[in-house]
Amino acid sequence: MAESQQSHTEIHVGGASPYDVVLGRGLAERLPSILGERTERVALLYAAELAEQAQPVLDALVPHYDVLGLGLPEGEDAKTSAVAEGCWDALGEKGFTRSDAIVTFGGGATTDLGGFVAATWLRGVRVVHVPTTLLAMVDAAVGGKTGINTAAGKNLVGAFHEPAGVLCDLDLLRSLPREELVAGLGEVVKCGFIADPEILRFVESTDPASLTAESPVLTELVERAVRVKVDVVVADLKETGGADGHPGREILNYGHTLGHAVEKHSGYAIRHGEAVAVGCVYAAELARLAGLLPDEVAARHREAFARVGLPVSVSGAGAEAGFDDLIGAMRVDKKARGSQLRFLVLTGVAEPMILAGPDEALLRAAFEAVA
Ligand SMILES: NC(=O)c1ccc[n+]([C@@H]2O[C@H](COP(=O)([O-])OP(=O)(O)OC[C@H]3O[C@@H](n4cnc5c(N)ncnc54)[C@H](O)[C@@H]3O)[C@@H](O)[C@H]2O)c1
Ligand SMILES: O=C(O)C(=O)C[C@@H](O)[C@H](O)[C@H](O)COP(=O)(O)O
Ligand SMILES: [Zn+2]
């Protein structure tokens, strides 16, 4: 066995449907032990452009199961009702039963779509995610949020459906384009601000160019970000709120109110992680202008995201959007209640709170700071 296959880290996700997130290298051979012997058929839902990288997964499945391979459109184009319907039809033709299972292989768009198909087929079959982007490893594949987009906005249809396992094979990041890796760092830095200041210290003291698939610091960042996510979802899987007034799972949505609106306005040309970076800077400006967040912590947001190569303004992300172009999409954010917008903001690093119903003048003023 190659050395890279020997060491791995298992992060247990407790709760009603427990599973493990495995971080390591060369992990495809673990799939049969997760899926078990009662599974007859496996549908491999993979980003079609990654067919070559998916071969080890296919090789690990074919000796044990009747495998149905379904190539999906690239990126966000996979997250549509039409693609989900195509998958349902294929599962129906194959006679997929509740003891059969889905494996996803791709970035967050693939795990979101594949997780949604698994959540809805027969009202729920098992799914194992094999994320292939940094963003999907640290965020999308973990925690059970699945979904697709609609004309009104991002992730507006979906379900909570926890995976039976997650295999984060860091070797897969070798083929990931640099800008996609950088986009994934957006969610990692977000985790630093909402929960783990050590992540910020690593980012601030490391040459960002050295953060490659082989980098031990990147491995450390992946593990830390996954632990942040796991701790949050174990405490509040369905985003109903935490104990003692803590916002619970909504903390993972830091930066997403503006971020999702920017993505939608760009026709999903702007990467999710890039939009989240701008959205976090916006949320920091909102909190600063509301007198909740010290100036230096707001400035630290700009520095940390910019340091790793992420945009810190809407125009810097390549979007030509003003406040009035975005406010409509912000209103369908899942944190909104009726006509009241709610923002996850910070009063300091790892000190989250909900800012409910801020004045439009404040929302506009904060926007000027990221326009
Ligand atoms: N469910 C959740 O909790 C959650 C969390 C965060 C983000 N998301 C969702 O995840 C999506 C973003 O995910 P993403 O950033 O992974 O983008 P993505 O899935 O769109 O992938 C980005 C691009 O990288 C390519 N790619 C993927 N892996 C590759 C590899 N190893 N080598 C070469 N190319 C590769 C993809 O084919 C695609 O073209 C968004 O839709 C976002 O809403 C969901
Ligand atoms: O897991 C969560 O909870 C998150 O909010 C993580 C986000 O990074 C992720 O982008 C998620 O898909 C956003 O969900 P949504 O509920 O705002 O659609
Ligand atoms: Zn996100």
DSSP-assigned states of every residue in 30-47: GHHHHH-SS--EEEEEEE
Closest listed residue to residue 161, CA positions, set 49, 25, 19, 39: 19
pLDDT in tens, 80-102: 999 999 999 999 999 999 999 99
Q: How far is the CA of 280 from the centre of ligand 3 (A)?
A: 11
pLDDT for residue 3 is more than 50: no
- DSSP secondary-structure letter at 318? T
The verdict on whether residue 94 carries a ligand-binding annotation is: no
pLDDT for residue 361 is more than 80: yes
Q: Output the domain CATH number for residue 290.
A: 1.20.1090.10
Residue with tokens 């999409």: 329
Same domain as 70, residue 11: yes
Q: Output the domain CATH number for residue 149.
A: 3.40.50.1970
- 296 with 307: CB under 8 angstroms? no
% the chain with pLDDT above 90 = 97
Q: How far is the CA of 333 from the centre of ligand 3 (A)?
A: 13
- 78 with 51: CB under 8 angstroms? no
ipTM of the complex in this document: 0.99
Helix (H) or strand (E) holding 11: strand 9-13
Task: State residue 58's pLDDT score.
Answer: 98
pLDDT in tens, 38-54: 999 999 999 999 999 99
Task: Report how far residue 3's alpha carbon sits from residue 214's, in angstroms, rounded to the nearest whole number.
Answer: 14
pLDDT for residue 2 is more than 70: no
Task: State residue 7's pLDDT score.
Answer: 84
Same domain as 259, residue 139: no
Closest listed residue to residue 211, CA positions, set 161, 138, 159: 138
Residue 95 inside a domain? The answer is: yes
pLDDT in tens, 168-208: 999 999 999 999 999 999 999 999 999 999 999 999 999 99
Residue 189 inside a domain? The answer is: no
Banded pLDDT at 4 (limits 50, 70, 90): very low
- Amino acid letter for position 278: V
- The binding-site residues of ligand 2, defined as CB within 6 angstroms of any ligand atom, are 139, 143, 145, 155, 187, 249, 252-253, 256, 334
Q: Which of 175, 209, 230 is the last residue of a domain?
A: 175
Q: Which of 141, 175, 209 is the last residue of a domain?
A: 175
* Lookup: tokens for 47: 């980003």
List the domain range (segments joined by +) for residue 37: 3-175
Q: Convert 252-270 to b/e letters by CB count within 10 Å (16 or more is b).
A: bbbbbbbbbbbbbbbebeb
User: For ligand 2, what atom is nearest to the CA of residue 256?
Assistant: 17
**Count of beta carbons in the 10 Å neighbourhood of residue 106:** 32
Ligand 2, atom 6, residue with closest C-alpha: 252
Q: How far is the CA of 241 from the centre of ligand 1 (A)?
A: 27
pLDDT in tens, 21-41: 999 999 999 999 999 999 999
Listed in sequence order, the residues at least 6 apart from 36 whose beta carbon sits closer than 8 Å to its beta carbon are none
| pTM of the complete model | 0.98
Closest listed residue to residue 43, CA positions, set 103, 85, 3: 103
* Lookup: tokens for 316: 């810097």
Banded pLDDT at 6 (limits 50, 70, 90): low
Same domain as 32, residue 133: yes
Apex 266 CA angle, 261 and 270, nearest 5:
90
Ligand 1, atom 13, residue with closest C-alpha: 108
Same domain as 162, residue 57: yes
